[in-house]
């Protein structure tokens, strides 16, 4: 079987410093896995790795709204379908322990089994602008409350 005919699904377990990528075939056979850094060059290496094994059906990824947000955007720019992976199988984790390769393979298997979630948010446009503005406003309000409380405490304890 040549690589052009091979249909593959990737799974990615995301973390702050590294992402772990695993491949399965459309029949569930484990092909390969590898760890990459969470840098621009790491993302380019992941994209190269994703195109190495055959026709990519989809990528199941954990944490598309947190550690995987930037990678999710990079993959979307390359027209690679990303699907929010289902939560890892707790029973398998208890039997085999916490493992990045296991989590990556399970993310790919959740796409194959149809258990994966929805497509990740794009995190751009007007909605993203409003989200950032609301987050900044909330932070500013907390800071204002803290400053007012500090000034009151100084006034209460200050000499006449």
Report pLDDT digits (tens) over 112-126: 888 766 666 666 678
Task: Please name which of 68, 91, 102, 6 lies closest in space to residue 59, comparing C-alpha atoms.
Answer: 68
Q: What is the pLDDT confidence band of residue 5, given thresholds at 50, 70 and 90? A: confident
pLDDT value at position 67? 85
pLDDT value at position 114? 80
Q: Helix count (H) and strand count (E) of the chain?
A: 5, 5
Please tell me whether residues 84 and 54 are part of one structural domain. yes
- Reading the block at residue 138, the tokens are 């909330």
Does residue 16 or residue 3 have the better pLDDT? 16
- Reading the block at residue 106, the tokens are 């399970």
| Contact criterion met (CB below 8 Å) for 19 and 13 | yes
Whether 83 maps to a domain, the answer reads yes
pLDDT, mean of residues 15-34 = 92
pLDDT value at position 6? 87
Whether 118 maps to a domain, the answer reads no
Whether 1 maps to a domain, the answer reads no
Quote the Cα angle for 41-46-85, to 5°: 130
Please tell me whether residues 12 and 31 are part of one structural domain. yes
pLDDT value at position 73? 87
Please tell me whether residue 4 adopts helix, strand or coil conformation: coil
Please tell me whether residues 31 and 72 are part of one structural domain. yes
Whether 119 maps to a domain, the answer reads no
Please tell me whether residues 32 and 64 are part of one structural domain. yes
For residue range 32-86, list pLDDT tens digits in order.
999 999 998 999 999 999 988 889 999 998 877 778 888 988 898 899 988 887 6
Q: Is 90 exceeded by the pLDDT of residue 24?
A: yes
The count of other CB atoms within 10 Å of the CB of residue 143 is 10
Domain around 101: 7-113
Number of structural domains the chain divides into: 2
């Amino acid at each position: 079987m040549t690589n052009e005919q091979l249909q593959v699904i990737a799974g990615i377990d995301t973390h702050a410093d590294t992402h772990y990528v695993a491949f399965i075939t459309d029949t569930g056979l484990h092909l390969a896995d590898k760890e990459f850094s969470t840098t621009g060059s790491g993302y380019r290496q992941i994209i190269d790795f994703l195109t190495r094994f055959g026709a990519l059906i989809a990528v199941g990824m954990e944490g598309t709204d947190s550690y995987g947000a930037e990678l999710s955007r990079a993959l979307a720019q390359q027209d690679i379908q990303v699907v929010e992976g289902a939560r890892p199988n707790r029973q398998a984790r208890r039997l085999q322990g916490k493992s990045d390769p296991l989590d990556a393979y399970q993310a790919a298997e959740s796409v194959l089994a149809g258990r994966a979630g929805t497509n990740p948010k794009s995190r751009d446009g007007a909605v993203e602008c409003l989200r950032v503005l609301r987050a900044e406003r909330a932070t500013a309000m907390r800071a204002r409350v803290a400053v007012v409380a500090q000034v009151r405490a100084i006034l209460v304890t200050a000499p006449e």
